[in-house]
């Protein structure tokens, strides 16, 4: 226990949550060995402390310690960064360069965001883990290195393996020992301690009085989900230290910075019923799923309105259905269209067989409209070819209703008289 507290003080780690203590204890236990370690946890939980502890407590502590952010290096240059290259190996390689595995020989390399490594690089990394051998880019000479690898990721690795984005054999080589860092939302008792630590640090940095929380503010923080974890809390305290004039912060003031309803969706484990760091994929995947669902809903609405137009015809559409079509197909006319808008279809003068997009015209607007420019449907459907027949029937009904008076029929249809005359001629309705 004394060693654990010493490690916390040495590396500035705050908190007494059991899962955090267990992660630190595992790091201390594996430090004297050379086995590979995989650190798992969400973004912002402090995974970078584990490789520092492992290196600092190992016999390699006086040798190089190199941090590599695998997600920040372009795919075309990452092999050169990790393993080096020979002069002339590629365009721009004007001299021989040592890679991280050569520079860190005898020390430790921390591969952050290892789940973002390209598959080709994963093959090279697997060889280093198995035999300690590598080759520079553009070289056929095998080199040896004695490097300990600690990797970290916030990616769901089993899903990445299933999706063929990560090699299964490499995963098991890296994951000789797995250390899980808990999310901040799981460490409710540590949140106030971390806030006070950050408040003291930033008060000293900016030479300002220290921020303090009221009881209701402490409760508010402990019930907030913190999707950004410790990093989000640290940024929050720094922002408030600089901005806030009142150094005592209550829950109302906190809500201005982190609204409770702004929490991102939380993934719940099917087995335990609680949120765990291993259950979390990328937050980006969650947002993509929401967007895809929205797109599918829009496509369903478009299909629905097409069926309504085909089966019922314009004159039988209800006001609710007309408004639905108005919102989906012509958002630019939504504000100007009146509740009694009429639906009409107008063919292009040069292409009589083209499938057209429904347009809404308000009865309150001037009856003398210019010809409307045709718009093609994004997804053509064979059944939409019946629109011409529907249009012809509408014109016949309007003329019969107004006893052949074309000006009244044009007003009823919501089109100009000139357009009506052209349609009558097109459909041979002059008798």
Predicted pLDDT at 405: 84
Cβ neighbours of 368 (radius 10 Å): 11
Q: What CATH class is the domain 185-279?
A: mainly alpha
Distance CA 412, CA 342 (A): 8
401 band by pLDDT with thresholds 50, 70 and 90: confident
Predicted pLDDT at 296: 67
428 band by pLDDT with thresholds 50, 70 and 90: confident
Predicted pLDDT at 17: 95
Predicted pLDDT at 426: 83
Domain segments of the chain as ranges: 2-180, 185-279, 288-426
387 vs 11, more confident: 11
220-234, 236-250, 317-331: least confident range: 317-331
Q: Would you say 420 and 410 are in contact if contact means Cβ atoms under 8 Å apart?
A: yes
103-107, 127-131, 259-263, 411-415: least confident range: 259-263
| CATH number belonging to the domain at 2-180, selected among 1.10.730.10, 3.40.50.300, 3.40.50.620, 3.40.50.720 | 3.40.50.300
Cβ neighbours of 279 (radius 10 Å): 17
| In the predicted structure, residue 328 carries a pLDDT above the cut 70 | no
Q: Pick from 294, 346, 310: which is nearest to 325 by CA?
A: 310
The two tokens of residue 375 are 């718009």
* Span 15-73, pLDDT tens digits: 999 999 999 999 999 999 999 999 999 999 999 999 999 999 999 999 999 999 999 99
What's the chain's average pLDDT? Answer: 80
C-alpha atoms less than 13 angstroms from C-alpha of 272 in its C-beta half-sphere: 9
């Amino acid at each position: 226990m004394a060693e654990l507290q010493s490690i916390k003080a040495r590396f500035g780690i705050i908190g007494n949550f059991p899962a955090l203590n267990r992660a630190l204890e595992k790091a201390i236990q594996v430090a004297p060995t050379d086995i590979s370690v995989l650190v798992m946890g969400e973004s912002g939980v402090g995974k970078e402390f584990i490789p520092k502890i492992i290196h600092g407590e190992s016999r390699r502590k006086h040798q190089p310690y190199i941090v590599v952010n695998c997600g920040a290096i372009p795919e075309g240059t990452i092999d050169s960064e990790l393993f080096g290259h020979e002069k002339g190996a590629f365009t721009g390689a004007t001299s021989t360069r040592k890679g991280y595995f050569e520079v860190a020989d005898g020390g430790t390399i921390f591969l952050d965001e290892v789940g973002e490594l390209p598959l080709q690089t994963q093959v090279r990394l697997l060889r280093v883990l198995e035999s300690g051998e590598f080759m520079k880019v553009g070289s056929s000479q095998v080199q040896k290195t004695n490097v300990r690898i600690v990797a970290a990721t916030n990616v769901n690795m089993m899903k990445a393996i299933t999706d063929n984005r990560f090699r299964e054999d490499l995963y098991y080589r890296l994951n000789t020992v797995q250390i899980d860092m808990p999310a901040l939302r799981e460490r409710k008792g540590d949140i106030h301690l971390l806030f006070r630590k950050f408040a003291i640090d930033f008060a000293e940095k900016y030479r300002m009085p220290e921020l303090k929380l009221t009881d209701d503010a402490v409760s508010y923080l402990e019930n907030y989900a913190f999707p950004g974890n410790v990093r989000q809390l640290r940024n929050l305290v720094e922002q408030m230290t600089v901005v806030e004039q009142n150094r005592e912060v209550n829950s109302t003031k906190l809500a201005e910075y982190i609204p409770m309803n702004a929490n991102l969706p939380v993934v719940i484990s099917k087995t335990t019923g609680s949120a765990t760091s291993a259950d979390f994929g990328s937050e980006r995947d969650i947002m993509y799923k929401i967007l895809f669902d929205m797109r599918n809903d829009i496509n369903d609405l478009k299909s629905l309105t097409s069926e309504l137009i085909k089966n019922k015809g314009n004159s039988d559409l209800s006001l609710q259905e007309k408004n639905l079509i108005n919102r989906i197909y012509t958002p630019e006319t939504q504000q100007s269209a009146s509740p009694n808008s009429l639906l009409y279809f107008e063919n292009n003068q040069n292409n009589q067989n083209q499938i057209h997009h429904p347009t809404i015209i308000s009865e309150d607007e001037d009856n003398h409209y210019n010809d409307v420019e045709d718009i093609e449907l994004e997804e053509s459907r064979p059944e939409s070819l019946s629109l011409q027949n529907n249009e012809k029937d509408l014109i016949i009904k309007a003329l019969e209703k107004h006893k052949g008076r074309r000006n009244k029929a044009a007003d009823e249809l919501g089109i100009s008289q000139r357009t009506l005359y052209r349609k009558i001629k097109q459909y041979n309705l002059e008798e």
